[in-house]
Amino acid sequence: MSFVTKDLLINFLFILLALFLVQMFYLIKYAKKIHWWKDRYIAVFPILAITFCLLFPVNGAYVPDDYRMDLRRIPYILGTLYGGWPLGSLLFVFILLLRLLIGGYDVGFLSTLIALPILSIPLFFITKYFLNFSLKNRIIVSTCLSIIGSLLAMLVSIFVLHVTSIPISVWVQFAILDVAGMFVITILWEAIRANLLVLQRLMKAEKLEIVSHLAASISHEVRNPLTASRGFMQMLQEDEKEPAKKRYISIAINELDRAKEIIDDYLLFANSAPERNEKMNISEEIHHVTHIMTPLANMNGVAIDFTFDEEVKCFVMGERRKLQQCLINLFKNSIEAMQNGGTLTIKVGKEGGAVIVDIIDTGCGMTQEQINRLGEPYFTTKEKGTGLGTMVSFSIIHYMKGKVSVSSVKGKETCFSLEFPLCE
């Protein structure tokens, strides 16, 4: 085995080390409840790996002292693809500064200064769509970008900077290990992402289970005294003559009603599994719910646009009352997100063996962090919300064997896409 292969394999091991260190820190973050860590692992992995690669490049007789051959492009490409252009820009500057600091303004730095921006053009363009690709296509794209990066490094060095002391055989070894390394690291990165996603879902499921037990144990006991208290308040309001006291009693009744709504949400969540499954035309159910929500939409200056093909029958299995409650919660959230008015667009269609319902509002939008926390107990983007409505809706969709995906542009729009199994 040549010294080039040995040194590049050491580079590869350093990339693996950075990858597993980040996974370890992420697990510690969940175990110790370290909130500041959040999603910073996406940035820490490439920064660590790039630093290791630049500090331990290929050394030998065939590589000039003013030229550094290493695998820094692997973490740069992956960090940009998975972290987006902001992280890519940070890594771009980091590579140039660290390379200048370590080796100075030499031929190797000039090679990086020319090749890296050229590689970054397709890289920054693809990163916008990369996470929407299938797993297979993500692996193919990252590997192809690695091939482009290796070719650029060789062509720029030989034909632009006239670095002719490095034999073609060394460049071939470098390209093979660079591409193979990218292939392996991408697969490992995808596996780690999948494990972390399972961990997030597990923790969310534990929270929901606690809330479910709490709801089942105390909701009935709390609702009964609230109902009695409301009745006595109404009697006092009818007998009271002073306007100020009547207003105070009215406020108390409204707050009791709000408490009852929260308890009803708890009860619905605790019993969100369908009790009486039936075949329903989801277009008819949405049409019914839009009539219910029209007064609230008018109060908020929101127009409801419901689009569906009457000839296409979209049947699903579930409990009618709970499906309607799920849609009411989601429509209400969308309407209230449009504080200055707007349009609530609802689309229904078929895709393969599934019924797709898109709920699109032109409201304030959400950040990716807010989207990730949707459905958690007590998480809400509203000032006076509890988050229970969304939690209940997601639970009902889950029991109907459906899926929810959310996309949003902050300050522009949000789309809730519901997918249910088609019932023929």
Residues of the chain with pLDDT under 50: none
For residue 406, the 8-state DSSP code is E
Q: In sequence order, which ranges of 240-316 are alpha helices (DSSP H)?
A: 243-270, 282-299
By CB atoms closer than 10 A (0-12, 13-18, 19+), residue 376 is: middle
Return phi, psi of residue 240, to 5°.
Answer: -75, 135
What's the pLDDT tens digit per position in 45-65? 899 999 999 998 887 667 777
Domain ranges of the chain: 3-204, 205-270, 278-421
pLDDT for residue 346:
94
For 278-421, CATH gives 3.30.565.10
Angle between the N-to-C axes of helices 168-239 and 388-399, in degrees from 0 to 180, rounded to the nearest 10: 120
* Total residue length of the chain: 424
What's the CATH number of domain 3-204, 1.10.3470, 2.40.160, 1.10.1760, 1.10.287?
1.10.1760
Q: Give yes or no for a contact between 270 and 216, defined as CB atoms under 8 angstroms apart.
A: yes
Q: In sequence order, which ranges of 1-72 are alpha helices (DSSP H)?
A: 3-32, 41-55
pLDDT for residue 216:
59
Query: 203 to each of 28, 198, 394, how far by Cα in Å?
Result: 14, 9, 16
CATH topology match: 3-204 vs 278-421: no
For residue 359, the 8-state DSSP code is E
CA 420/CA 397 separation, integer angstroms: 8
Record the tokens describing residue 72, joined without a space: 């820094």
Name 63's Cβ contacts closer than 8 Å, sequence gap at least 6. 4, 57, 69, 165, 166, 170
Query: 112 to each of 7, 65, 150, 268, how far by Cα in Å?
Result: 19, 15, 12, 60
